[in-house]
Amino acid sequence: MATAETAGLPVRRRSRFGFGGAFAVALALEAAGILLMVAFVRPEPPAPATAPAARLRIHAAVTMAPPPKPAPPPPVPVPKPVTPPPPPVTPPAPAPRPPRPLPVRPRGHFAARPRLRPPPPPPREAPPTMAEPVPPAPQPVSAAVQATETDLYAASLRARVQANLQVPETVRMLGISGVAEVRIGVDPDGRLTSLAIGRSSGSREIDRAALQAVRSTRLPPFSAKMPRHAIIFSLAVRLES
């Protein structure tokens, strides 16, 4: 059987003194160390009285930490400028009216008394006026009298128109003649109300000359015995070159 020595391994040999001897050696070494320390350690001289203060200052300087920095204050809001309201304007007080000057009477003279005028005479009564006599109402005219007066007016009207008739130069050069029947409307005041050719003469120049003769004639008003309404007359106007 192979052993540790034959295998080449280290072999732990047992001490001669055993466990009790080792313990005694350790105690002896510890006691020797304590004695050496007591012999070589010298007592330090007492420190001066000011040493604790310096030691305390150094300790305070070393141990005191700087205070933390305070947090910055929050930003203060800037108030908006407020414009003050305008001061109330008081209207100026009205100026006092000057006192009325008192009438100054001259010294040594008395105020003249107003003269009393005599009352006006009473109005005279106007003499009674005589009422104008009312003209009598016109008596009615018979139809025969009206017809006679109308025929007389038509003959006078035809004579006036015939007198104002002018022969045109073309009719005179052609040597023509003719009779144109003209219808004339006239009111009681002698105003022309209508004008037209009732029957032509066959020539346009003669018809135009007859109408122009009527327009240039001054028509007379109706007589008192004629009807009081407009009448249409038929006049034969003769034109000869």
pLDDT (tens digit, 9 = 90+) per residue, 198-233? 999 999 999 999 999 999 999 999 999 999 999 999
CATH number of 143-239: 3.30.2420.10
CB 180 within 8 A of CB 171: no
Where do the domains of the chain lie? 143-239
Which residue's structure tokens are 């295998």? 7
Could you read off the pLDDT of 139-163 as tens digits, one per residue?
788 999 999 999 999 999 999 999 9
- Kindly give the parts of the chain with pLDDT less than 50: 1-7, 9-11, 14-17, 50-62
CA distance 185 to 212: 15
Burial (CB < 10 A; 0-12, 13-18, 19+), residue 167, is: middle
